[in-house]
Amino acid sequence: MAAWSVDHMAATNSEYGIPSQGLYDWNVEPNKNKTQFASPEEAAVIVKKAALFLGASLVGITDYDERWVYSDFYNPMTDESIPADFPFKPKSVVVIAIEMDFDAYRTGPSMIAGAATGLGYSKMAETTNKVATFIRQLGYAAAPCGNDTALSVPLAIMAGLGECGRNSILITKEFGPRVRLCKVFTELQMKADKPITFGVKEFCRSCKICAESCPSEAIPMDDDPTTEGHNISNCNGIEKWYTDAEKCFQTWADNTVDCCNCITSCPYNKPASWHHDLTRNVANTPLASVLSKLDTAFGFGKTYDEKVIKNWWKK
C-alpha cells in the first residue's frame, strides 16, 4: 500500500488504463511563450536530459504513430468507451522506463515484489507529470500517460529502449525486463531515436527460462515467434512471442498478488556489474544457447526462494 500510495492518491486506477486524471491530467495549458529550438535534435537533447534529471531511468523519443494508440479509451470502472481524442496533434512521444528494485524482484513472486511494482507505478505518475510540466513550460502541449492511451512496449522499442522478449515485454540492456514504462505525447517535434538490437530475439529463441518459470504457462515454448495471438487480449499482426494475457492475469487473481516470475527469472535481469555486462555481450554471439543453461547453473533467476524473502528485510 505504501509503495502504491502516490499512484492511488494522485493517479487513481491509472494501472487499469484510465487516461487524463490526477497526475496524468492532459488539460493543463502550456506556457504562452514558446521556446524556439535550433533544431529537433536540440529539442530532443534537452528534453531527454530533463527527463533523466526528473526521475527517468531510461528515456527515448519516437515519432507519433497511431498504430500503437488505442482506438478507444476504455474505463473499466465505469464500463465506458471514450473515443481516442488528443486535445492537440501529437508529433513526438517521450518514452520513459522506470527501473524497479532488483533485490525486491529477487523475492518474486511476493508482496515485496508487488511493492516494487507499486513503487514503479507511483514513480511513473510522478515522472511523467514532471516531464509533461517541463515540456509545457517550454510552451508546448503535453499529455502524460501511464498504461493508458497507447501500447508502451512498441513505443519503447521504436524509441530505442530495448527489444521485445519471449515474455512479450521490453527487455532493456541496462535492467533487462525489470522496468515500468510510461510516456508523454507532445506537439513538440523532436528528433526520434532509432530502434536497437542486442541479440535478445536470438537469445530468447533458445532460452525459454521465463516460459518454464511461468506458473500459468502463459508464455509460449515455441522456438519461433508468430504473428497470431491467443485471444482478444492480444494484438495480432506483429511477429513476436505472444503471452496469453488472460491466463497470466488469472494467476495474479488466484494468488492475490502480482506475479513477476518472468522478470525475476530472465537472464537479462541482472544488477549493474562488469561481469554481468560481459555476459550480456557474450549473449549476442552463437554461445547464447549455452549461456542460458549456465545462467541456471550459476544460480541466477531463482523464484519462490523463501530465504531471499526473509533476508530482504535484514539487508
Site for other proteins in 232-271 (CB under 8 A): 271
Q: Which stretch binds other proteins (CB under 8 A): 50-58, 72-80, 128-136, 296-304?
A: 296-304
Angle at CA 13, nearest 5°, toward 21 and 1? 125
- For other proteins, which residue of 64, 140, 185, 300 counts as binding (CB under 8 A)? 300
Q: Does 298 bind other proteins (CB under 8 A)?
A: yes
Q: Does 275 bind other proteins (CB under 8 A)?
A: yes
Any idea of the CA torsion for 100, 101, 107, 113, to the nearest 10 degrees? -40
Q: Does 274 bind other proteins (CB under 8 A)?
A: yes
- For other proteins, which residue of 2, 71, 273, 314 counts as binding (CB under 8 A)? 273
Q: Which is nearer to other proteins, 66 or 277 (CB)?
A: 277
Q: Does 299 bind other proteins (CB under 8 A)?
A: yes
Q: Which is nearer to other proteins, 274 or 313 (CB)?
A: 274
Residue with cell string 547464447: 288
CB 227 within 8 A of CB 236: yes
Question: CB of 280: closest distance to other proteins in angstroms?
Answer: 14
Q: Which is nearer to other proteins, 232 or 297 (CB)?
A: 297
User: Which helix (H) or strand (E) element contains residue 292?
Assistant: helix 288-297
The closest alpha carbon to 134, from 54, 205, 73, 204, belongs to 54
Q: Does 297 bind other proteins (CB under 8 A)?
A: yes
* Interacting residues of 157 by C-beta distance below 8 A, sequence separation 6+: 163, 164, 170, 195
Q: Which stretch binds other proteins (CB under 8 A): 128-136, 141-149, 241-249, 293-301?
A: 293-301
Question: CB of 119: closest distance to other proteins in angstroms?
Answer: 21
Q: Which stretch binds other proteins (CB under 8 A): 56-64, 111-119, 149-157, 272-280?
A: 272-280
- E strands of 234-280, at which residues? none
Question: CB of 212: closest distance to other proteins in angstroms?
Answer: 18
Binding residues with other proteins: total (CB under 8 A): 8
Q: Does 83 bind other proteins (CB under 8 A)?
A: no
* Interacting residues of 175 by C-beta distance below 8 A, sequence separation 6+: 57, 58, 97, 99, 100, 269
Q: Which is nearer to other proteins, 89 or 307 (CB)?
A: 307
Angle at CA 72, nearest 5°, toward 71 and 75? 150
User: Which helix (H) or strand (E) element contains residue 9?
Assistant: helix 5-10
Cα separations in angstroms, 280 against 10, 159, 166, 171, 229: 38, 21, 16, 12, 29
All three cell numbers of 104: 525486491
* Residues forming beta bridges with residue 61, ordered by sequence position: 94
Question: CB of 269: closest distance to other proteins in angstroms?
Answer: 13
Q: Which is nearer to other proteins, 244 or 295 (CB)?
A: 295
User: Which helix (H) or strand (E) element contains residue 163?
Assistant: strand 163-164
Question: CB of 274: closest distance to other proteins in angstroms?
Answer: 7
Q: Which residues bind other proteins (CB under 8 A)?
A: 271, 273-275, 297-300
